Chain A
Amino acid sequence: MRYLDEYRDGDASRKLLDAIAAAATRPWTVMEVCGSQTHSFLKYGIDQMLPSEVTLIHGPGCPVCVTPAEIIDQAIALAERPDVTLVSYGDMLRVPGTAKDLLSVKAEGGDVRMVYSSLDALKLAREHPDRKVVFFAIGFETTAPANAMAVVVAEREGIDNFFMLTSHVLVPPALEAIASSPENRVQGFLAPGHVCTVTGYVDYERLAGKYRTPMVVSGFEPLDLLQATYMLVRQLEEGRCEVENQYARSVKREGNEQARALMESVFEVVDHGWRGIGVIPRSGLRLKGRYARFDAGRVFDIAATTPRQAESVCIAGLVLQGIRKPVDCPAFGIDCTPEHCLGAPMVSSEGACAAYYHYARQGAPR
């Protein structure tokens, strides 16, 4: 199939692997920021094929994983209301809040629906004017423009039974938190290609300079990741700290200006909590005051409760910061599986623990 097969070519992969091996003369630790990149690395077995000089650590780029439990609890509280239809991306349904997940609420009779797009949620609101339709809007800068669009359309069409519970997060502040941490081991970043498609990478250039850390904006197919890894290793070996763009077929330096403008017109930047990590300054988005009547967090009486901190061996926070690997967790694959997870990275399709569980449980530890 065109646009896929050429990025999954075995011969080209082997050439790039050889090139990486030839370029790497010292050990380098690099982080792929996005969870989809983590999954590609493991799904194609690339992590095992890279030379031993290159150590991958997995980044926080799993929006489902970093959504705070208290916001999931709010979603659950909304889904339990008889007048509410709670609409969400599929991944979010299985992520545990403090006491349960949204799928359990659905089984108990709550009206919980899964969609692929915020505009589908809007459609539900249009078709069911008697229901309060709440869209659980999560994600990085990739999903924010489409979610912003849903609010703009709702306002334009006067759809007053549509609301959004938002937990939108931004990548650059998270990278800054990692790069500035005293525990940081990351020497170079594979930056998230789809986020940068929207935002461009001007912000990343500032971070690369400030923290003397090279970055390569990378795609998600095996050849994208191999080529980006090669470019990053070259930068590291040559002592350069630039932002290079491997994913040029999708990413421009300035990003998608229309999408950015839309995002900026609907959302404002706020401090935001990241599950397992804590509050990162100016790392989240919420609806601007003008759109407050669509903001489920403000319209409904669901004051944020402080979730009780259950005793847990789960190390999701450390995994999300790249400090530990999923297999370092004593619960991995034993008390924590996709069916009974202790932490969100085990259930999300972008979670690092899920990637290890599905693709790499067998054989030598990675």
Chain B
Amino acid sequence: MTIPFTHILFLAILLFAMGAACAMTRKNLFMILIGVEVMLNAAGIAFVAAAMRWQDMNGQIMALFVMTVAAAEIAVALALIVCIQRRTRYTNVDHCSMLKG
């Protein structure tokens, strides 16, 4: 049996909202990063679902792109976190406030 398209979309929305909430509320840099990853994967799920719904391979290709971007992003982000940790001795995002107005 096939899962209805709307169900998958609801799953994606749910995941995206949870990721966004995580990115917005958490102070720990790692947790923010995880939130961003969740949001990206929610988008990937939506793409795959759309590909199945319309029988179009472009959606799957986009999902592959999203995964690639996520990998690249996590590599840069982890390097940045290491950098920040070395400078401020914390991985808490509230300590990164040098550009405060």
Instruction: Tell me whether A and B are bound partners.
Output: no
Interface residues of A (CB under 8 A from B): none
Interface residues of B (CB under 8 A from A): none
